[in-house]
Structure 1
Amino acid sequence: MTRPNFSIRQTTTEDWRELRAIRLEMIQDTPTAYAETLDDALAVDEAGWRLRGERGIAAHATQITAISAGGHWVGSMGGYVPDSETGPLLVGVYVAPEWRGRNVGLTDALLTHIEDWARTEGSTLTLHVHEDNLRARSYYERQGFVATGHSVPYNF
């Protein structure tokens, strides 16, 4: 089997339409994985989406996307540093269903980019995973992440 072809790059303000589309897709796919509801995402205007796209090149933040050879956005991850105590935080992780799996390698490639960025910002990369998101929890555990025992309520 040939490995699927994709590229990864940082987002820009000009990506706002594609960023909006993949964000809506990801919330619909796994609603409990994100601290934003579909209604909240639908209410964001163009200026708000442009600001989100700018995270790709912002100081102490990153937003990356995976794009198929056909030009379709098939994955996304972001990171930012909320404060010096927390350090780098992984957020907004999504891989389209048909691009998931170890044999594809997309999730690993996205995470490698985020981990490389995080090393420039601190010594630890942290993420939040909903307790019921077993697919994500299993993936992160395979990658060496460990549960801290600390939980944060999701408010929807």
Structure 2
Amino acid sequence: MDDIEVRAVRPDEWRAVRELRLAALQDDAAPLAFFDTYESAVKQPDSFWQERAAGARQFVAVGAGGEWVGGLAVLVEEAGSLDWAGLPVERRQGQVVGVYVRPAARGGGVVVGGLFRAALEYAWEIGLDRVRLLVHEENRRAVTAYERIGFVASGVVVPIEGADGNELEYVYARAPKGTRSSER
């Protein structure tokens, strides 16, 4: 998987965005990883997918044969707003959502690492100094990957109404210029 290209998704690629999302929602970990179902998503009209492709900054990992093997999106949360769970956002920050890597491309961290490098570079370029994500407390595969990248648990626990378990917040903070600290 060393021949992976990671790049931003273009709005005209909405069909590929749809296909990758539907694949993600059929993954064994989907019930823990996503707040959506295949049954719901497959019914969405083309306009939904067109808006999704043109909305938040999304990154895709493309294999040598042109197949999309992974993706994620970065949402920008503004201080003073409410996040998707209705909780107050205290500072301008990024939130990574929709992380997915096809099973054949997993292992070794090449794909997920490339996706997160692109996401963090984007966040720093637009002036963010903190990126967060939420992960289900039982999704150990994802937690392990995020910790390997450098995300650390913030201690924030988000209970999800009507769901088993909680979401845990993990953060990655940009080190201040001129410091060597890896403290997040």
TMscore range, shorter length: 0.7 to 0.9
- More helix as a share of residues: 1
SS at match of 2:154: coil
CA RMSD of aligned residues (A): 1.6
State how many pairs are aligned.
Answer: 148
The amino acid of 2:35's aligned partner reads: A
Larger strand share, 1 or 2: 2
Counterpart contact for 2:7–2:118, Cα < 8 Å: no
Question: Which residue does 1:130 correspond to in 2?
Answer: 136
Aligned pair partner of 1:71 in 66, 71, 80: 66
Identity %: 34
1:35 touches 1:154 (CA, 8 Å); kept in 2?
A: no
Q: What pairs up with 1:112-123 in 2 under 5 angstroms?
A: 112-119=117-124, 120-123=126-129
Partner of 1:10: 8
TM-score by length of 1: 0.87
The answer on 1:35 being equivalent to 2:35 is yes
2:95 to 71, 89, 94: 89
What displacement does 1:86 show?
Answer: 5.1
Q: Which has the higher contact order (CA 8 A, sep 6+)?
A: 1
Instruction: Give the greater-gyration-radius structure (CA).
Output: 2
CA contact (8 A) 2:62 2:69 kept: yes
